[in-house]
Amino acid sequence: MRKQIEPRGRSEIVVIDSDDPRYPTAAMNLLGDDAPKRVYALGKLSILDQPLLAFFCSSKCPGSVILQTYDTACALRDASVVVISGFHSPIEKECLRLLLRGTQPIVICPARSIERMRVPAEWRAPLAAGRLLILSPLDANHPRITAETAQHRNRFAAALATRILIPHAAPGSKTEAFAREVEGWGKQMLPSRRECQRPLHVCHRPPSERRQT
């Protein structure tokens, strides 16, 4: 069933129940009973029809990894790769800023309800242009980001992606534990553990994944 919420001064938020044909089935397939019963969307839902690359990174990274990751974000943007992320850690936020300079679609998954969330000014133009989707698995009972909602959001975003990029997972961190979990899902991980000390050559998706426009 489709419901709508009229946020202040913004487009309508669409509420999608799990029995709605537009509900992202990948979440249900991978998360099972842990999948959200409904999701909340603001923006162009058809972006989810494209192959997604999920991006996560620990808050604290070596300087060399930070620079490589910024270069990778620019390359992903230039190759029109659709990135999905919470864009919450400092390096993720900076990568979002770089991605927003392009023309490719982006999926932002806040680790909180979006029902009363004020859309940042820099998101409004791409949202109006139809290249941004704000998607949350959290209802109005979660108005703030917590460690628990961030974990829930990360698993949801990773489930929707075909590939996952984790430039750095600090030893012993929640990001490292999360990386080990999603590796078990059979997702393509970029970079692999062997490649963690090498430049991140993950810029171009295969031609077979490119969507005709």
Alpha-carbon distance 32 to 148, whole Å? 18
pTM of the model: 0.85
The CATH number for 137's domain is 3.40.50.450
pLDDT for 137? 97
Residue 59 pLDDT exceeds 90: no
Alpha-carbon distance 41 to 26, whole Å? 16
pLDDT for 64? 87
In a domain, 173, yes or no: yes
Alpha-carbon distance 8 to 177, whole Å? 38
Determine the average pLDDT of the residues in 98-111. Answer: 97
SS3 36: coil
In a domain, 163, yes or no: yes
Alpha-carbon distance 134 to 136, whole Å? 7
In a domain, 20, yes or no: no
Q: Tell me the percentage of the chain whose pLDDT exceeds 70.
A: 84
pLDDT for 60? 85
Domain range for residue 112?
A: 46-209
Residue 203 pLDDT exceeds 80: no
Position 61: which residue type? C
In a domain, 9, yes or no: no
In a domain, 202, yes or no: yes
Residue 202 pLDDT exceeds 50: no
More confident residue, 64 or 86: 86
Average pLDDT, the chain: 86
CB 26 within 8 A of CB 157: no
Look at residues 118, 70, 72 and name the one whose alpha carbon lies nearest to residue 94.
Answer: 70
Q: At 67, list the tokens.
A: 């620079």
Which tens digit of pLDDT belongs to each residue from 84-103? Answer: 999 999 999 999 999 999 99
pLDDT for 198? 40
Which tens digit of pLDDT belongs to each residue from 4-31? Answer: 444 444 468 999 999 999 999 999 999 9
pLDDT for 191? 67
Residue 51 pLDDT exceeds 90: yes
DSSP E strands: which ranges in 22-162? 38-43, 52-55, 82-85, 106-108, 132-136
Confidence of residue 151 (pLDDT cuts 50, 70, 90): very high
Q: At 167, list the tokens.
A: 């430039």
How many structural domains comprise the chain?
A: 1
In a domain, 6, yes or no: no
Q: At 71, list the tokens.
A: 């270069």
Residue 37 pLDDT exceeds 80: yes
Residue 68 pLDDT exceeds 80: yes
Sheet with 2-5, side-by-side order of all strands: 2-5, 13-17, 38-43, 132-136, 106-108, 82-85, 52-55, 163-165, 188-190
CB 133 within 8 A of CB 43: yes
In a domain, 197, yes or no: yes
Beta bridge partners of 3: 15
Which tens digit of pLDDT belongs to each residue from 153-179? Answer: 999 999 999 999 999 888 888 899 999
DSSP state of 12: P
In a domain, 196, yes or no: yes
pLDDT for 11? 65
